[in-house]
Amino acid sequence: MTTVPDRSRVRLPGISSRAYEHPADRSALVALRKLTGFDTILKNLAGLFNDRALRLMFLSSAVRASPEQFPDLYNMMLDGCYILDLETVPELFISQDPTVNAMALGQSKPFIVLYSGLVDLMDPEEIRWVIGHELGHVLSGHSTYRTMLYYLIILANRLALVPFAWIGLRAVIWGLEEWYRKSELSCDRAGLLAAQDVEAARRALMKMAGGKSLSQLSSDEFHKQAREYDAVPDVRESLLKLLQLQGTTHPFAVIRFAELDRWASEGDYRDILAGHYPRREDDREASVGEEAKNAAKSYQDSWNRSADPLVGAVRGVANSAVDAGSRLFNRFSGGTRSDDTDDTDDDE
């Protein structure tokens, strides 16, 4: 029923979303997944109303892919689900809209929407990467947890009239926006695992930034842009970069390009394709403390790579904070066990 082309991508049976999630995204998701009761209630409530309304809207106004309608896109969806080992194949809708966009919607029965502007812009392998990106959102359960956090924001808004409460609210919103951006980096990686074509992923990201004139685009020059954006000349531009992030849920194009390219060239991507990755069956054993330490280490590595003058000015303080946080997690989250400790007491 499902075929993988002869250039043959590697199937990843039982792969956990933890394999590709950015450490900052993964630590938040592992913590949220521990709230199993709240998670289940929210998913069921949202499925009763929001999922049904959204699906009906696209069922009535878009084209649902099938063997008879957009069969090539339909087969790409089947292949992506086969490679990432999704048990249920989401529905795929193509909506007439010139915007270059795609979405994964729904919680109890997720479905994917591709806008015609994106379909017209991308070649087949680039679309395969986009579909894999959206399947990453499905596998990670981002829709569920984004909804959870959305309701938390509503709750915080009700407290906004309390004197000085807006300070805490603003901090929550900043944190949520940062998590959203990291979840997009996660799913760029999921797209690469589904497509297993680094050049197609690069092309797709460049086209999202500069349009379809691929002959006028250069991955080397786009990398140069990313380095220039990182290494702005002075702290004033560093502050402008921070201000421009407010209200955004997606990383800027050059950042996504550089981050995905780095992940593709490092060991994790190759290890996953070689079959070395976490399995879903072990997700319950994931440690909140360990993932939080991984997230802190990821930020520390990012700061150490950055040539941004503001990051350079605060790097020492930030790294000290990360080290202090890691020591606390080691003390209070079970990290005091030494490597040579017998694993017979792993009840948690």
pLDDT tens-place string over residues 1-23? 344 554 588 999 999 999 999 88
Percent of the residues in the chain that have a pLDDT greater than 90, as a whole number: 40
- Using pLDDT thresholds of 50, 70 and 90, give the confidence band for residue 342: very low
**Could you tell me the pLDDT band of residue 199, with boundaries at 50, 70 and 90?**
very high
SS3 162: coil
Q: What pLDDT, on a 0 to 100 scale, did the predictor assign at position 314?
A: 53
* 133: region left, alpha or beta (phi > 0 left; psi from -120 to 50 alpha): alpha
Mean pLDDT, rounded, for 225-253? 76
**Taking Cα atoms as reference points, which of 301, 16, 22 lies closest to residue 182?**
22
Q: What would the pLDDT profile of 244-269 be if each residue is shown by its tens digit? A: 777 677 888 999 999 999 999 988 99
What is the arithmetic mean of pLDDT over 308-335? Answer: 47
Express each pLDDT in 101-133 by its tens digit: 998 988 778 899 999 999 999 999 999 999 999
The answer to whether residue 97 scores a pLDDT higher than 60 is yes
Reply yes or no on whether the pLDDT at 48 is more than 60.
no
Q: Give CA separation, 308 vs 237, 246, 299, in Å.
A: 9, 18, 14
Which of residues 223 and 289 earns the better pLDDT score? Answer: 223
- Separation between Cα atoms, residue 109 and residue 131, nearest integer Å: 17
Chain Cα centroid distance, residue 27: 12
Rounded alpha-carbon distances, angstroms, from residue 152 to 25, 126, 148, 159: 17, 36, 6, 11
Higher pLDDT, 56 or 172: 56
Place of tokens 């249920």: 88
In the chain, count H helices and then E strands: 15, 4
pLDDT of residue 274 exceeding 80, the answer is yes
- CA dist 287 and 31 (Å) reads 8
Q: What is the average pLDDT across 173-179?
A: 75
User: Mean pLDDT for the chain?
Assistant: 78
Strand 91-95 versus strand 111-115 pairing type: parallel
Percent of the chain with pLDDT over 70: 64
Lowest mean pLDDT among 98-112, 187-201, 212-226, 283-297: 283-297
Average pLDDT over residues 87-108: 92
Q: Which residue in the block uniquely carries the two structure tokens 């020059």? A: 221
pTM, entire model? 0.78
Give the burial class of 39: count Cβ atoms within 10 A of its Cβ; 0-12 exposed, 13-18 middle, 19 or more buried.
middle
CB-based contact 24:181 (threshold 8 Å): no
CA distance readout (Å), 205 to 126, 241, 255:
9, 20, 10
Q: How far apart are CA 203 and CA 260, in angstroms?
A: 12
Which of 27-36, 114-123, 127-136, 189-198 comes out lowest in average pLDDT?
A: 27-36
Pick from 157-166, 176-185, 244-253: least confident? 157-166
The one-letter amino acid at 158: R
* Pair 100, 119: CB distance under 8 Å: no
